Structure 1
Amino acid sequence: MSLSLILVCLWAVTANVLAMTPSRDHHWRNAYVLIAIGIPMIGLVTWQHGPWLGLLVLAGGMSVLRWPVIYLARWLRRRTLGG
């Protein structure tokens, strides 16, 4: 297993552990840190293993951090539809 895939697995374990801890801001600070760390790792996986595995890792990260993705989609919909 390559270093990039090991880092992605460690990121996923860390995200799950952080989700189990109590948080006053509903884990938004943790989500920002995980996003900032995860984006370069997706690029590294894509570079080393190709776009299909990069998309798979992206889908896994989006399933872990689903609420930031939902809020982004809502914001984009409001911006484009003017609603």
Structure 2
Amino acid sequence: MNWALVAAFGWLIVANVMAMLPTRDQHWTAAYVLIAAGIPILGWVTWANGPVWGIAILLMGCSVLRWPLVFLFRWLRRKAAGTP
């Protein structure tokens, strides 16, 4: 296993630990930090191991950060429909 995959699996462990900790803002600050750290790691994994591993890590990250994705898709659907 190379360092890119170690970093990705470390990110997943940190994300799960952060999800277990109580917060006042319903984990949104943690989600922003995880997204900012996860995008470069995802690029590194894809570059080092190919697109199959990149897609696998992307799906793992999406399963951890599912609520930001739900809100993003709702926002995009509202923008496409033309409602404020």
TM-score band, normalised by the shorter chain? over 0.9
Amino acid in the other structure paired with 1:61:
G
Q: Output the TM-score relative to the length of structure 1.
A: 0.97
Map 1:42-61 onto structure 2 (within 5 A): 42-61=42-61
Amino-acid identity (%):
53
Q: Output the TM-score relative to the length of structure 2.
A: 0.95
Deviation, 1:72, is 0.4
Unaligned runs of 5+ in 1: none
Q: Which runs of 4+ in 1 moved over 2 A?
A: none
User: Are 1:14 and 2:23 an aligned pair?
Assistant: no
Unaligned runs of 5+ in 2: none
* d(CA) in 2 for partners of 1:82, 1:53: 37
Aligned-residue CA RMSD in angstroms? 0.7
